[in-house]
Chain A
């Protein structure tokens, strides 16, 4: 493999190697060898693998490959056989179409107040799952923060150099087209995101989809106007507050609902008038909370991956 990298390649060979994941595209524009303040870039460390170890791995992999292919074919065959025994697709009289689904459809509107039956199901009947699901998002973004967020002790010269270079390019090129289009688009993107969140219980959508739209808007803003401008109003503290805070509100609201439900107490939260925007009990506030968490999480992933900080 190492020999083949040295000889000059045709473009399509390069492309094929890139598609196969054997080489990484070298971005020649975004590299300079020194920082603006004169520091030199640290040379890329050589790979220290000797031939014998790689050869041993290759031989092992051949055996492993053959075994895996056989196992996977057997596995697919077994699963196909299983599927052939399952109830048919699209039929009415299948086990899944039982009293549970019927109750969600027939009584869902009166019991939860949400005309979007799926929203009523995930945020009221099976709300504990959804609370867990929001926690999964929260814990994922926090582990990415733990892993990628830069601090005093974790610095990477090459990374810093790349980010500085990107900043320089962003400042040099005016990017009029991008900025103008973003300037027009972003208000509509945010408006649409908020619309999807607020109408989660009466139309398709909800916190997750609306939050993803808001997150996309934030990413577009950061890319067209620069992270420095975004950080004026969306720094790490705001990010923390908008991720943990809504989840706390969510947990609090649900604790009240679970507690009253389990102890058969009177709950002040009623379903309201179905079909109106202010209805469906706590589903609307829950959607807003989820939307905030998702928007922050999506943007957080992007910022941490590209810059190592928010």
Chain B
């Protein structure tokens, strides 16, 4: 009755269990350094397993595989199910998570208290576990349980930087998140009430029956609305974004990167799976929910950018930019066509690779300018840490949508998706894209120009010499130079005592992380076609 699986198809299950066990053993490991190494090992292993799964799936012709969690098949026991789309998402999530941790490693050791660093990595492991489970699950209720794990882990990595500001941000985040998961659970309960199923495949059949017979039409609309609303609150779609800037802006660098790069996307992937595997896009369009999502997405794209424009705090500015990008993704879902969803999926990936790079480089730049978050005071910081400056520049340009970078293909596909729709959608989407691009440029370009501009007065020449003469790795020369600069500084302006002028120590992990982020950003921007093919294949069998 059941075909025997290839052994490789056990890997997604192993990934979930491995990350979970990796999280559970962390309390025994008192040393934060060892915990970090174990965590990196687990992420690497999970990434490797996902590569294997992806290759095997493509060899087998891009099919999806259903994997029973236990001895009982479809409507009776839990299941996970994976195809090319899930595998590539999981792979990218592992990569981004690993690089985000490496990119902010210095800040983790600085911000999280010594005895509790192992618990930070515990949260990271369980966060990855829940993200993988959300990507792979084929059961609505499993989705809910892992959403809760995700929520607690995400809040915990925000509050691990133990200051009043982060705890306030955490509780706001937690309250909004719980509101969202409450709505999601209510949606699932009602869905169970009218269908009697919790697994996605039987749900799809019974919803199909309900739609053809016209039974329970109103509950069905409300249920899909509740589920979409819950996901929208949890992934900070525009009017529900109020918690996001605080949480992402005040957390430690890695946490901000992971939260905006991955956590927001996990819920959206679940929503896409619900749309394709449970409700079907036709029903979504028929119930007008796609149009609502389109409107919210477009408003979010523009309003997020407008709010970012007003922001002076660099991390909060990047956080508001995330609100705008979430708007893009929801707009893609709202287009209702396959190309729209493909564009949304691609944008999930491109944003997942770009935003953590921005956060990590911003963290390094802030470090270089003496812990100043106001972006006017970041002037000249890119010259002190050129690698972070380059990464921030590339990230910003990619967000604007310059060709050759990751942000460009997604905008291209959004436009393609809009052209395939009716005239009204075409107009709305293209106008929104144009306005949003201009707004993005308006807030990223000044920040970039500002950080490459040398400081005024005699330090200007210093800065230029320095930028030309020394590469990122020349730590010794940098130290000497920094020392001289510091001396000069003490003599000249004693009032600016706060600003530290020594050359920031650039760690190896930061270099590795930035180089990989830069490489993958360009790779996504130039060689996007194969990736799009995989995504298209994945969506067609979803």
Mark A residues whose CB is within 8 Å of B.
Answer: 78-79, 81-82, 85-87, 94-101, 103-104, 111, 124-129, 131-133, 135-136, 138-140, 142-143, 145-147, 149, 151-154, 240, 243-244, 247-248, 251, 255, 257-264, 267
- Taking the closest CB of chain B, its distance from the CB of A75, in whole angstroms, is 10
Q: Which of B69, B77, B141, B152 is within 8 Å of A139, CB to CB?
A: B152
Give per-residue flags for B146-187: 1 if the beta carbon is below 8 A from chain A beta carbons, else 0. 101100110110011010000100000000000000000000
In contact, A264 and B4 (Cβ under 8 angstroms): yes
| Complex contacts, A267 vs chain B, CB 8 Å | 71
Q: Which of A94, A99, A125, A248 is within 8 Å of B72, CB to CB?
A: A125
CB of B206 within 8 A of chain A? yes
**CA A125 – CA B68 in complex, angstroms?**
10
20 CB < 8 A contacts A-B: A82-B218, A82-B219, A86-B190, A86-B216, A96-B192, A111-B71, A111-B72, A124-B70, A124-B71, A125-B70, A125-B72, A132-B142, A135-B20, A135-B23, A136-B152, A142-B123, A244-B24, A248-B21, A251-B24, A262-B5
**CA A243 – CA B122 in complex, angstroms?**
14
Q: Which of B78, B113, B126, B141 is within 8 Å of A127, CB to CB?
A: B78
CB of B324 within 8 A of chain A? no
In contact, B222 and A129 (Cβ under 8 angstroms): no
In contact, B162 and A154 (Cβ under 8 angstroms): yes
**CA A138 – CA B23 in complex, angstroms?**
10
Give per-residue flags for B4-39: 1 if the beta carbon is below 8 A from chain A beta carbons, else 0. 110000100100010011011101100000000000
- Taking the closest CB of chain B, its distance from the CB of A84, in whole angstroms, is 9
CB of B116 within 8 A of chain A? yes
Known: A95-B193, A251-B24, A264-B4. A258 touches B142 (CB 8 A): no
B194-202, B367-375, B389-397, B434-442: which one contacts chain A?
B194-202
Interface-centre pick from A125, A131, A143 (highest chain B CB count, 10 A) = A143
Q: Which of B2, B67, B113, B194 is within 8 Å of A95, CB to CB?
A: B194
In contact, A139 and B218 (Cβ under 8 angstroms): no
In contact, B113 and A154 (Cβ under 8 angstroms): yes
| Complex contacts, A264 vs chain B, CB 8 Å | 2, 4
**CA A131 – CA B68 in complex, angstroms?**
15
In contact, A95 and B195 (Cβ under 8 angstroms): yes
In contact, B149 and A259 (Cβ under 8 angstroms): no
| Complex contacts, A85 vs chain B, CB 8 Å | 216, 218-219
Q: Which of B27, B78, B114 is within 8 Å of A128, CB to CB?
A: B78
Knowing that A143-B152, A263-B4 touch, tell me 10 more A-B residue pairs with CB under 8 angstroms.
A82-B190, A82-B219, A85-B219, A111-B71, A127-B69, A139-B153, A142-B123, A142-B156, A244-B24, A261-B71
**CA A258 – CA B123 in complex, angstroms?**
25
Q: How many residues of B contact A (CB 8 A)?
A: 61
**CA A149 – CA B116 in complex, angstroms?**
9
- Taking the closest CB of chain B, its distance from the CB of A290, in whole angstroms, is 14
**CA A240 – CA B28 in complex, angstroms?**
7
| Complex contacts, B77 vs chain A, CB 8 Å | 125-126, 261
| Complex contacts, A103 vs chain B, CB 8 Å | 76
| Complex contacts, A260 vs chain B, CB 8 Å | 71
Interface-centre pick from B141, B162, B167, B196 (highest chain A CB count, 10 A) = B196
- Taking the closest CB of chain A, its distance from the CB of B171, in whole angstroms, is 11
Give per-residue flags for B110-154: 1 if the beta carbon is below 8 A from chain A beta carbons, else 0. 000111100110110010010001000001011001101100110
Known: A125-B72, A263-B5. A138 touches B142 (CB 8 A): no
**CA A292 – CA B114 in complex, angstroms?**
29
**CA A98 – CA B197 in complex, angstroms?**
9
CB of B75 within 8 A of chain A? yes
Q: Which of A125, A146, A257 is within 8 Å of B116, CB to CB?
A: A146
**CA A142 – CA B156 in complex, angstroms?**
9
Known: A154-B162, A263-B10, A267-B71. A251 touches B193 (CB 8 A): no
In contact, A129 and B142 (Cβ under 8 angstroms): yes
